[in-house]
Chain A
């Protein structure tokens, strides 16, 4: 009777090697293996913390991020101004931190809005199909096919008072932030919508969805309760990857003078005047761009790592 147990199935054999691990732990372990993604996550957390600490840094150093000092322009790094001052004598480090708040928030907000719009449209297209599906997917094709940057420039140049917005709203300082988030969401929903539509289509023929239908669940309930939880991972990956692209797009528009408007600082608009300054103070042109670059590449690595961790085809290794 001392015969070793024989395992009939690979699954049983795998089970015998130890208790099953929760899905979350497996995913986390696979994510940890992706060192670039992990490093990127740490870098991003540090960047966000630094940007959030801007008011604190302002209070501790006794400097004011928006105080113009025409006698102290283009200062090299000193004990007071760690990265020196810009063309108006403002502290560069503080402006970078405040600019980071705006750029990061704009990127995250626009990515989130795009994801929500894309998920909703993708679910509708995939679940109801038919002419709604055809229309939405043609629309997505059309948006993807167009030369986006010139069209975004026109959209960003539109005079909001001509759209019937009250003067006070159209000229307030914050409006450039909301405008850019809305503009990017209008064009940014397509990737998520296509992914969700595809995933929804394959879910619709699965037993649990058919069972829910047989039990009399309505369309909205099936989409939100049964399908959505099963299509979350492609949404997370696509959204993470889109944050980088969106921060890049925001910086381009702000750089061209059509995104975030001064006096609000963003990493993009801090570079607007830099092209004229490269002869006098190249450092001013280097720092904001470096931060955009680091942030965007970190989001891309993070998305790439998440994709590997969440990809069901990669499970067997």
Chain B
């Protein structure tokens, strides 16, 4: 097991390295470069000044050389400065990461609390009215555009009813934070819960078909013990894996939600930095997002091996 984890960690690290090069190259392809922005800010720069600045920042060198310069600086802990915020990128990304953990964590827990009972209930009575209703709602959740749901919730709760703020971070303090988190969390929960319900339902149906369930029923166990002890435990193995694999999708949802509600998390920071030509911040932010997603995938594999004793990793 340890060897398996080490091997997967090494693989993730290689993927991260490849992605860092790809993202570095892509960011170089975005419109404008730092010197262009300086020229716009100060039209008096002569062409000689521009050439000097390019040489000073190393922008006259080929992309591969620039990438390795950046990589060695990053490896020694220097991730660079944000152009817009004029602060080290980590000073901006770490608080943003905290805000995203609040948003994603609360939504994830809320989605699980709704999805588990709903998925189990649907699987136990297939084709019943309650199954059909749950299925319909799950499809609605999967199909709704997240930004439109956010707009509808703002119209209802902020404009018409006036109960909740339409966006922003609020004042320091837990009450204000939760108040400002309410609509973003509800949005992100509603767009993710449908998929989880369908996973849980499918996994439960699959487990219900197994022979050991018939055996458990035949030896006279109560329906409750069969469902909780035999079906649910086995159905959870694929569900846990899919939940961890879905981290990337959850992050994409968080990006939209944060942007809609002005919640200063990782997603909004990355989006703003890309649109605002904040190259360093965009680069490090994207790598952060990639790294966490890769770790979530690793977690998926490890929990799968841990939960299912039939799987052995030499």
Contact = CB atoms under 8 A, between A and B. Distances in A.
- The answer to whether A binds B is yes
A150 B255 contact: yes
A271 B152 CA distance: 12
A154 B27 contact: yes
Interface string B244-256: 0100110110011
A157 B30 contact: yes
A253 B285 CA distance: 19
Contact of A147 (B27, B139, B146, B251): B251
A252 B260 CA distance: 11
Contact of B290 (A146, A157, A244, A255): A146
Given A150-B255, A252-B145, A285 B155 contact: yes
Contacts of B139: 297, 300-301, 304
Interface string B146-183: 11100110110001000000000000000000000000
Contacts of B248: 144-148
Interface in B267-314: 267, 270-271, 274-275, 282, 285-286, 289-290, 293-294, 297
Contact of B30 (A158, A268, A300): A158
A275 B154 CA distance: 9
Interface in B8-45: 15, 19, 23, 26-32
A292 B29 CA distance: 32
> Which of B23, B154, B248, B282 has the most chain A CB atoms inside 10 A of its CB?
B248
Contacts of B285: 150
Nearest to A158: B29
A155 interface: yes
Contacts of A274: 151
Contact of B15 (A142, A157, A255, A292): A142
Contacts of B142: 300
B192 to A, nearest CB: 13
B1 interface: no
Contacts of A301: 139
B255 A149 contact: yes
A72 interface: no
Contact of B145 (A142, A275, A293): A293
B148 A289 contact: yes
B252 A278 contact: no
Contacts of B260: 275
A162 interface: yes
B143 A157 contact: no
Contacts of A279: 159
A289 B144 CA distance: 8
A252 B191 CA distance: 13
A153 interface: yes
A146 B293 contact: yes
A155 B25 CA distance: 11
Contacts of A244: 143
Contacts of A290: 148
A149 B147 CA distance: 13
A289 B152 contact: yes
B241 interface: no
A262 interface: no
Contact of B159 (A149, A155, A278): A278
Contacts of A163: 29
Interface of B: 15, 19, 23, 26-32, 139-140, 142-148, 151-152, 154-155, 159, 245, 248-249, 251-252, 255-256, 259-260, 267, 270-271, 274-275, 282, 285-286, 289-290, 293-294, 297
19 contacts: A142-B15, A145-B293, A145-B297, A146-B248, A146-B293, A147-B290, A149-B255, A149-B256, A150-B271, A151-B23, A153-B274, A159-B29, A244-B143, A248-B145, A252-B256, A255-B147, A271-B147, A289-B147, A293-B145
- 3 nearest A-B pairs in the assembled complex, by CB-CB distance: A289-B148, A149-B252, A297-B143
Interface of A: 142, 144-151, 153-155, 157-159, 162-163, 244, 248, 251-252, 255-257, 268, 271, 274-275, 278-279, 282, 285-286, 288-290, 292-293, 296-297, 300-301, 304
